Chains A and B, each alone.
Chain A
Amino acid sequence: MPLYEFVPRRSNWHAWLPVLLGLLLFPLLVQSEYLLNIAVYAGIYVILTSSLNITNGYTGLFSFGHAAFYGIGAYTAAILATRSGIPFWLTLPLAGIVASAFGAAIALLTLRLGGIFLALVTIGFQEIAYLVILNWVSLTRGPMGIPGIPPATIWGVALSGNRGYYFLILALDTLVLFLISRIVTSRVGRAFVAIREDELAAQSAGIATFPTKVLSFVVATFFAGIAGGFFAHHARFVSADSFRLDETFAILTMLIVGGMGSLPGPVIGAVFLVVLPEASRFLAEYRGVVYGLILIGVILFRPEGIAGVPGIIRTRGALSRAEKPSAEEGQPA
């Protein structure tokens, strides 16, 4: 079975259980706060990349606004925790809910647009979200960011070191990946893929494409919001510039490099691209250059990435439908 078809099941426990056990033992072998910190960041990006994969990979809707939803989640948690004293176990789901509410609004407004136009609107939304966070000083403290976010708590005990956060994000990653695997193997997940492959055919096969696409967006942005909520309680400080277009591009690069449309792809991409720059400190100032070259190399020579569905980036569905607006043609396809 090729890697991109891998889905964890009870029957293939011998493949995923050792990995999970290894990850559980990792912090016992590694004492360094610094290394654990990198591992926690990798965990956050696993959620971000895997959730972006739902829209961009499975459903073929190219969103360029993921960092905005991530930021909305982070700010939701930060504001609720610092102003209203709401505890961590409530701010986390609320962060997801608020982000997915924005996701739903954007989806309802824009999903009638196809391919590249959706990408453009989400870029616009990404920039607007950033600028509103920056300007709405009374709510977000604008360019100063929100300091003093309380740490995450488990059964009333506040986490102090990265070891606690490591186990927390590991649990969260396991939960999120489990939920995503259940979604994509369900009827809804097959509808996502059908829309990506050929929207018209999906429609004639009786799939309600518009609600399905909205659902895909809502699920993806919900998990992005959760990642944001975790980030806020881990970094204990949020500021607008963590959630700019660059961040969307970074998440997108992880997804492309790891591979779209599969479960392992985004996980591999996220871990690889978080660890690589840290492991190659000597590359310090060339970090962006290395990122860019890897992205270009992958697109040119292995468009499906490390573990993506082959040919996905060129499928004829919503990803690459060539539409060109003109007065004669009226609305884009």
Chain B
Amino acid sequence: MLVPQLINGLTQGSLYALVAIGFVLIFGTMNLVTFAHGEVYMMGAFAGALAMTVWHLPWFVALAMGMAAAWVLGFLIEKIAFRPLRTAGHMPPLLITIGLSIILKDLAVILFGAENRPVPSIYEQTIRVAGIQISVLQIVILGVAAGLVVLLRLLIQGTKIGRAMRATAQDHEAAYAMGVNVHRVFSIAFALASCLGGAAGVMIGIYYNAVYPVMGAAAGLKGFAACIFGGLTSIPGAILGGIIIGVVENLTVQFLASGYRDVVAFLVMVIVLVLRPQGLLGRKLRTV
């Protein structure tokens, strides 16, 4: 059962990685931490689930809608919580995002109810590769995650805004002096981060067939742990961190007990922070 568990872990880990990349984009460019990322992920998941259950749209349209909703939400959060407190240090924006996360969670309960909202199944088939049964949906999820990472890389490496982001990440005062519209970069980085979170939310909803208002808390914290694991500012580090946490979690269920799966993620986070605060691959964003 080792190989199937590795595949389960890889699937989950790839979605944690998407959440973790969001934290890297935000910390990398703005040097700030958000606590509302999990709730953005949850809202994206609800947007996707509604698209599939109420309007009966195909899953990829739902994915796009979830990403768009998260984009808008991220854009707004940056405006409310981060823009007015640009020079206030870490804590005030962090505390504001705590407030936002409480509000978003409660709004979701008011709008959608506290219970599970079922999400229809897609790709229920399995295929056999080298004697191992693999779920088609798991392959689709891995494909979506990989595709989004490739797109992000193209954006960061190949476009003008990507260049501006990299410059801002290195030194935003220098970038500002060189004529980069730093505020616009912050805004886009935040929205982009949220958008990836929303994508992860939609896919997890499809994977587990359920979305619910408190789903963001655990995902946000685990994405965050993955981001710390990889060193806060490294996209490859975040991807690696996400996948390692996903795999270790599933192996914990296999060899220990299912209740302890989440302990592992946080234990890893604390140990990394204490022993090697710069993470495994802690480097600046420019080395992406």
Which residues of A pack against B, CB within 8 Å? Answer: 62, 109-110, 113, 115-117, 119-121, 123-125, 127-128, 131-132, 134-135, 142, 245, 249, 252-253, 256, 285-289, 291-293, 295-296, 299-300, 303, 313-314, 319-322, 324-328, 330-332
Contact = CB atoms under 8 A, between A and B. Distances in A.
Contact of B259 (A123, A131, A252): A131
B31 A249 contact: no
A269 B94 CA distance: 19
A120 B95 contact: no
A199 to B, nearest CB: 15
Contact of A110 (B100, B231, B273): B273
B106 A285 contact: yes
A114 to B, nearest CB: 10
Contacts of B91: 62, 115-116, 313, 319-320
Contact of B103 (A124, A128, A288): A288
B106 A128 contact: no
Interface string B203-219: 00000000000000100
B260 A121 contact: no
Nearest to B256: A135
B221 interface: yes
A295 B95 contact: yes
A110 B102 contact: no
Given A110-B273, A135-B259, A326-B283, A252 B95 contact: yes
Q: Summarize B's interface: helix, strand, loop or mixed.
A: helix
B103 A324 contact: no
B282 interface: yes
Given A123-B221, A295-B98, A325-B277, 4 more contacts: A293-B99, A296-B80, A296-B103, A328-B284
18 contacts: A120-B273, A127-B262, A131-B263, A245-B221, A252-B98, A253-B98, A253-B99, A292-B100, A299-B96, A300-B96, A314-B88, A314-B92, A319-B89, A320-B89, A322-B31, A322-B90, A324-B232, A325-B232
Nearest to B271: A124
Nearest to A125: B270
B95 A289 contact: no
B116 to A, nearest CB: 18
B105 A288 contact: yes
A326 B286 CA distance: 12
Contacts, number: 152
B65 interface: no
Given A252-B95, A286-B106, A288-B106, A322 B273 contact: no
B90 A116 contact: yes
B103 A293 contact: yes
B127 interface: no
B99 A296 contact: yes
B96 A128 contact: no
A13 to B, nearest CB: 36
A332 B43 CA distance: 34
Contacts of B279: 325
B73 to A, nearest CB: 15
B259 A327 contact: no
Given A62-B91, A256-B95, A288-B103, A245 B263 contact: no
Interface in B71-102: 80-81, 84-85, 88-92, 94-96, 98-102
Given A256-B95, A296-B96, A331-B277, A128 B102 contact: no
A327 B282 contact: yes
A284 to B, nearest CB: 10
B88 A113 contact: no
B112 interface: no
Interface residues of B, number: 50
B260 A135 contact: yes
Nearest to A132: B263
A331 B282 CA distance: 11
A193 to B, nearest CB: 17
B282 A325 contact: yes
B278 interface: yes
Nearest to A121: B273
Contacts of A124: 225, 266-267, 269-270, 273
A253 B100 CA distance: 12
B110 interface: yes
Contacts of B233: 324-326
Interface in B107-141: 107, 109-110
B151 interface: no
Contacts of A249: 98, 102
Contacts of A292: 99-103, 106
B91, B98, B110, B266: most-surrounded residue (chain A CB, <10 A): B91
A319 B284 CA distance: 23
Given A120-B273, A288-B103, A330-B278, A324 B31 contact: yes
B54 interface: no
A303 B260 CA distance: 39
Contacts of B85: 299-300
Given A124-B266, A299-B95, A110 B274 contact: yes
Contacts of B266: 124-125, 127-128, 131
Interface in B189-238: 217, 221, 224-225, 228, 231-233
Listed from nearest, the 4 A-B pairs whose CB atoms lie closest are: A320-B89, A288-B106, A292-B103, A325-B278
